[in-house]
Structure formats: structure tokens, C-alpha cells
Structure 1
Amino acid sequence: MNVELTIPFPFPIVVEDDNLNVDILTERYAFWDSPAIFQWFEARGYTLYKRMPTGEYDLMPNNYTVPRLPSEPFVQAEYPHPYHENYSAYSKDYIRCAQDTSGKVVFAQDSQCRHVAIKLVPNDTNEIRILQFLRRQSPETLKEHCLIPILDILPIKGFSFAVMPRWGSSIYNPAPNTLRDVVGIIHSMLKGLSFPHHHNIIHRDICLRNVLVNHFSNDHAGPVNPTRVKLRSAGNLSYAIFDFDVSVMVPPDVEKSEFRLPYKMSWCGSYNHPFDTAQGEFDYDPFAYDVGTMGREFCQEYQHLSASLPLLAPLLDGMITRNISRRFTAAQALQFLETELGQLPDKHLEQEFYEATDVTEYDKYDRWRLLPSNLVQKWAVYKEPPLPATTRFLRWLYSFESLVHVIPFVRRAAFHVWRFPYRFSSAIRLRH
């Protein structure tokens, strides 16, 4: 089918609560569900899932779709394709169903009935350049570095469809059984950040929601899947970072330690931002911000485990320290973790995982409180000091909405004023 495909709706579109806008989603779902789109993808070897019926009282089309072609009850993983099976805690009509609430992703099966996700991506964007870069990498490279591979890119006028294997979401369901499970997630995420950073790619939306696992059954299946529990216990689960729609790819000759972005760009992405720009900074280091974001996510999920897994105290403090110049890079955090794990007896990681009972914010929580004194001394260089009064004052001041842009403006002006004498004296010395 050689019909020229066009996108009939504005994309991307920037509105408040995009995921909740009924009109936008209805228009996007109608596009994906049209016979012409089905035939276009079918001609290229992909059979799109079918949308489940809309409920009588629903305001918009059902956001769940299900495969059209049959699969075996359980399918073994064969990289890059994951384990999948027909477990469903609810209706059997939803077996292997997939959910999308953005209207920019559709699911399909290829000519071998393997399940894939297809994402609409605007051309001439950072995202498509990053996906093209990943497409050029070998499967072995992406497997080693815990990134979702790009299987195909189908270009049309102004846009492309990026095809990737369908993996599972909600990696925190079910909860880890042991510390080994926790370490596996942390290790994978650090690897998945180190490789893009090495190639000057800033993710800008690091969170557990943007990590996938090589097993799926049913996006409507509930929090406990017995097959995933068994796969995790057997050490067969692997994790991969994805979703580069707000990412930035900077030129290869840029020095990462000196690269900065405007403070407003630090607000983009997930809910777990570090406080790097919460004092009215006018710019920020986005590579360090990625690390801080991941560190804050780890703190939220795992900092309570530092008494059982002491290496978490220096690792997390090193990732979220307010002193940006001393903050771990992604590669340094990964190396630290691997070095310390190499000195840890295997049986230590078999300790049982337990949920947090303390929800103290990451920059106020004492991760060192229960560590043995010899380990506190060993890792003292990484220990983050308490919040100074000046930082607390600046954060309080910056919390007023009317000052959100005023303080960065003042700080930028002051920076240039203080910098002028230095630049002037340097110029005089050069003349002589």
C-alpha cells in the first residue's frame, strides 16, 4: 500500500493535562483505529492491536487494545523480545492487552507474531535523532547497556514511526523479594544512563515509569503476576530505559561538565526532580541533573535499606549531593556500585526486601544513621552534610510564585557583575 500517510492532528501539542484532554485523545485514537492506518501498517508487516469496546458511560474511547493474532499461553524470551503469557486477573477478553493514555503509541504484532510498540515521533527533533542513533547500535550493545532497542523506523512526511519490542511496565510490581532484586534494578538503570551520557544524550525524564522489564502479560492485570514473581526469583528479569521524547542530544565536541541549560528546562519531566534549581539558579548542569533525578528516585524507593545494604548510603549521597561539582557522574556511580558489590558476599544480597515506613524527603533523610562506624569512616568523603540555613532560606524565598523568575534574573545579573572585573583584568594581562 503506497498511499501517502499524513498526520491529521497537531502533534506534538503542548497543553495542560495532555493525557486527560478528551478531544485530543479521541482524535488520536480515531487515527490509529482507522482502516487506512491498519492497512498501511499491515502492508509493512505489522498487524495493529484492536481497541476494546467503549463502556456505556465512558467519556472517551477505551485506552486498552488487544492483539488480533493468537500467541502460545507462555512464550519464552528471545532478545530483544520478552517473556509474555496470557495471565489475566480480570476479564479474559483483556489477555495481553496494552494500555496507552497518550495517543502517540500503538501496539502491534510483526510478521512472526512478535509483539511490538510503535511510537509517533516528529522528524527534525532530538528524539528522532536519538532513536536513529540507537537504531544504529548492535543488539548486543543495547542489551549490555540496558536500553530498549529500536527495531525499525518508518518515515512519512514530517514524522516517523519508531518500532520497538513491547516490554512490560510497572517494574515495581510485584515488589522485590530480596536485596539482589533491588541491586538488579539500580545496576540496570545506572547502565542505562551511563551509555547515553557517554554519547552526550541527556534523558531529562528519569523515573521508574520510564523503565521497562522483559516480561508482559496484561496491562490490566493488577499488581501481582505469579509468572513475574518466578522470573524475578530465578534471576531472569532484565530492565531497560526508554522514552526520549524530552531528551536532548548535544554535539559530540561539547564538554559535558561545562554544558548548561536554562533553569526553566529543569522543570520538565517527572515528579522526582532534585533541588538543583530550587534556590533560584539561572541555569543548571543537565547531565548532573539526570544523575540527581535518578538518585532521588532511588532514595524514594530504597534509601530505607541502607542499614541492610550500607553501600546505598555513599552511592545515594554521591548521586544527590548539592555540590554539583562533586556529584557522581553516571559512569562514576556505576563504577562505585560495581566495585562495592564485588567486595560483598553473595549471601548478603539474599536478605529479604522490606517496605519503607519513613517517607522523609531525600535531602533530609539520614542514610548513615545505622551504619557501622568503620563504614562511615571509610565512605566519609561521600557523606552529605545537613542543609545549611542559607539554602533553606533561598528555597523558602523561591517558593513564592511571584519570585520564580525574579530570583534567577537577579542571580544572573549578579553573576555577570561579579564576573566582569575578572574578565577585564584577564584582558589587560593578555595585552601585556
Structure 2
Amino acid sequence: MSAITFTVAIFFPSLVSLTSKLFKQKFITLDSRWESLVWNWRLLKLNLAFPEKLEDWYYKDWDRMEESMIYVQSVWVFILPFFASRGYTTYQRHPTNFTELVAPPFPPVARNAAYPYARQVPTNVQESKMIWSLRVWAARDALGRDVVIKLSFLFHILGYSDVFYVRIISEVDNPSQELKVMQRLNSEKLRSDPANHTIYALDFLTFDKFVFVVMPRWDSSWAPEFENVSELMHFAYICFQTFDFLHRNRIVHLDFLVQNIGMNVVIQHTEMFRRTGLRKRDEVRYALFDFGASVAFPEDTVIEDTFTTDYLWFGVHNIQEDSVKYPYNPFKADIAFLGTALQTYVTHIENLVPELGPFFESLIDMNDPKQLSASQALAKFTDICDRISPDVAQASFDTRAWKNGQCKSAFDGIKNKTEAVIPGTVKKKDGEVITIL
């Protein structure tokens, strides 16, 4: 470094700090003085208002959502070189579609990534794309493994979970519960537990006051086809095992929805629906993610004596808001959320496994003193699985969901059933497996 450059690097932060006060411009601080110099120069040049807090990465007013999305995307574009400097080549903005990102030409996608990375599903799509939302930006690492740079907040956005997430989860000086949860889940002790079916945190990155987490990208566990009873019951079993693991370690998720558990596949979102052949027992894995509403309690917490008045979106989880008695037990709420979600997407095979109906009824009332705990639910569900005959385990079905006592077909609500046919291997309503090229 030349003497001039060294001098600038030493005194530039003070100069920028003074300038930021004069022009009301935020001053970005990184670990490296040189990086701070470069990033503040870019910020001054662009005259961009950089976020001050986590809430600034989200829209606060529905009436100004489009304006907020444009602003947040401009912030992402501003910091993308930072992730590139850490080894992540970002996807590019689509030239005509604001909501889509296009894969970079280099590095080429890795075809045989090992766990905890996902399997690459062959595609007929020429141009690999990713849906963009306020908290997500896709990228690839140096080995060509797809990654997603993901921003987290208290609200949930239905998106596509893929080979990595880089997700803002905390402010440096004000550690969030999400950061605490992910640090505990990824401790050496908990990572060695075979029941830890939560997404890996591969790296934590800090930019200014914000903490990002890098996670392997795993796509939807729900859109691809369940070809038989065994595959669906295995999926549900992993969910129950995961929540037993969480509660044993005094963690509550508090936002279980089927879109919050991924499968170890990377697949184009236009080719997900009813895709078959992805759930072979020796290949498939599932992982819980989206810990934005989660809480890590002290490890000596007595579950039965734990209560809170924190607001949750009970209605999103099919629980009547006015039925909740405050203060409530968050561990019981966690089981109720798990129960209502799986009741919707598993009970439709009750004609094949009759025990499912009464079982889920024992989970969904968080006010019931007899509601099953996580460990009791896992034990009961394991018993149900063990008593399924081989013929029933291999039985196929055409239903997809259950609601208010009614089973729904995967084709319900689709006027033209050909709309559900996508490139790749799919399963028709009558059970015939076909391939669409």
C-alpha cells in the first residue's frame, strides 16, 4: 500500500463521518478500514439511504409496497459486491422481470454436491431462474453450489428455498432470538444429534451492523409428489422428530408451515408441482428453516412452567385468535401449529390410516391440559407408523389435503387439469406415471 493510500485509509473514516453528518448520510463500518473507505465512497457516490435497522429491509405500509420493494432491491444491489468478495457470485437481475433473478454464467452449477448441500434435479429449463422477494437473493459459491442470500424479519414470505441462504437475522449490537437459535442449533453438541433436522448455518457474515447467515439451499418439500403412504408418513415422522429435538433443547419454532420445511433438492419452481422420484428413503432428507419467530429459552427451562403474552399469527395456523388464553405456553402453541399444519396435509389418507384423525385432534388444542407434548406426539406417531402394513405403506392416493372433514384432490381448483402438467416426471390423477418432455 502506498503512503498516500495508507494516509487516506487512516483519515478517510473521519472525513466520511463528518461528511455524513453534513449530508445526513449513514456511515458504514466494516472490520477493515480499507473496506470501510471503499463502501462509504460508493454510498456517497450513489446517495443511497442505507438501512439503519432490520425493519428498514421490509415494507411497513402496504400502500407503498412497490416503492419499498424498489428501495430494498437497490440496497441488495448495492451490497452484492460484498458477498462476491466473500466467495458468492450473485444471480443477476432479470432484464425485464423485476421479480426474477437469473443464474450467473460462471461458475457452472455443481451437479454432485454432498450433504448438507442438496441434490440437483435435471431440468428442461434453459435459463435457471430464482424468484426474488424482499429477503432473498440467489448466488453460487466458488464450487458452483447454488446459494441464496436471504433477509429475515418477523413476517413470512412464501418463497423458494434453495441451495444456500444468506439471510439477515440480527443486528450486531442487539442479537436477535433468531441468531441465538441458529447458533445453538449449529453448536457441535446439537449438530451431532441425528434428530437435528434443521437447516445448516454454513457461515455468519457481518456487513455494517447486520448479521447474515449462509445456509444450503433446499427447495420445497411439499410441491413434489408423495407417491405412497410410506413417503408421506416418513415426511411427517421427521417433522415430529424435529420438534421433539427442538423442545428437548428448549427451542420453540412458533411458525411451522409446510413451506418452512425443505427437501434436499434444487429444482426449478416451474417444475416442482407433482414431480415424482425425489423421496427415495436412502436419498431424501428434510430440514426445518425460517426461525424468525423462534425463541431459545435457557437450557434449564421447565417447559410446563413457561408462559408468554407475545403476539403470534394464530389465524395463519388455523387457530381462532379469540380461543387463545393469555398468558399461553409457547411449547404448547408450537405443538398446536405443528398439529394443524400436518392435520391439513396428512389426514387426507385417514381412509388408509384411521388412527390419524384422533391423533391430530390430540395436538391442535393448546388450551387442553391433555394435549400431547412433543415427545408424546413422536412416540404416538411412531407407534402408528409401526403398525402400518406393507400393503398400506406402498398404497398410492390421489388426495392432497384435508380441511373441515373434506379431502381435497391435487387438482381441486384447477379448471383445466393440463395446467398442472409441468416438464419432468409427474403423476396424473388416476395414478399413471408419465413423463412430459
The TM-score with structure 1 as length reference comes to: 0.71
**Aligned ranges 1:165-176 → 2 under 5 Å:** 165-169=216-220, 171-176=221-226
Distance 1:319 1:68, change over 3 A: farther
Gaps of 5+ in 1: 56-60, 366-432
Distance 1:19 1:178, change over 3 A: farther
Distance 1:20 1:243, change over 3 A: farther
Distance 1:352 1:280, change over 3 A: closer
Secondary structure of the 1:3 match is: helix
| One of 186, 189, 201 as aligned partner of 1:150 | 201
Question: Which residue is 1:254 aligned to?
Answer: 301
Is the Cα–Cα contact under 8 Å of residues 113 and 119 in structure 2 kept in the other structure? yes
| One of 235, 246, 249 as aligned partner of 1:196 | 246
Question: Which residue is 1:327 aligned to?
Answer: 371
The structure with more strand, counted as a fraction of residues: 2
Question: Which residue is 2:96 aligned to?
Answer: 54
Question: Which residue is 2:132 aligned to?
Answer: 100
Question: Which residue is 1:132 aligned to?
Answer: 183
Is the Cα–Cα contact under 8 Å of residues 142 and 148 in structure 1 kept in the other structure? no
* Corresponding letter in the other structure for 1:251: P
| One of 285, 288, 312 as aligned partner of 1:238 | 285
Distance in 2 (alpha carbons) for counterparts of 1:214 and 1:237? 6
Is the Cα–Cα contact under 8 Å of residues 32 and 38 in structure 1 kept in the other structure? yes
Question: Which residue is 1:122 aligned to?
Answer: 170
The TM-score with structure 2 as length reference comes to: 0.70
C-alpha deviation, 1:242, in angstroms: 0.2
Distance in 1 (alpha carbons) for counterparts of 2:394 and 2:301? 43
C-alpha deviation, 1:354, in angstroms: 2.8
Distance in 2 (alpha carbons) for counterparts of 1:46 and 1:119? 13
Question: Which residue is 1:41 aligned to?
Answer: 83
Distance in 2 (alpha carbons) for counterparts of 1:50 and 1:179? 41
Distance in 2 (alpha carbons) for counterparts of 1:345 and 1:158? 55
Counterpart check, 1:209 vs 2:259? yes
| One of 353, 369, 375 as aligned partner of 1:309 | 353
Is the Cα–Cα contact under 8 Å of residues 59 and 68 in structure 2 kept in the other structure? no
Gaps of 5+ in 2: 1-31, 41-48, 147-163, 408-437
Question: Could you list the per-position Cα deviations for residues 407-431 of structure 1 after superposition, in whole angstroms to 9, with x for gaps in the alignment?
Answer: xxxxxxxxxxxxxxxxxxxxxxxxx
Counterpart check, 1:288 vs 2:332? yes
Q: Which segment drifts farther, 304-313 or 175-184?
A: 304-313
- Note the aligned Cα RMSD (angstroms): 2.9
Is the Cα–Cα contact under 8 Å of residues 89 and 139 in structure 2 kept in the other structure? yes
Counterpart check, 1:12 vs 2:55? yes
Is the Cα–Cα contact under 8 Å of residues 344 and 401 in structure 2 kept in the other structure? no
Is the Cα–Cα contact under 8 Å of residues 88 and 220 in structure 1 kept in the other structure? no
Is the Cα–Cα contact under 8 Å of residues 108 and 118 in structure 1 kept in the other structure? no
Distance 1:224 1:317, change over 3 A: closer
Give identity over the alignment, percent: 21
Counterpart check, 1:161 vs 2:212? yes
Is the Cα–Cα contact under 8 Å of residues 135 and 152 in structure 1 kept in the other structure? no
Is the Cα–Cα contact under 8 Å of residues 94 and 101 in structure 2 kept in the other structure? yes
In the TM superposition, structure 1's runs of 4+ consecutive aligned residues that sit over 4 Å from their partners are 13-20
* Corresponding letter in the other structure for 1:80: P
The structure with more helix, counted as a fraction of residues: 1
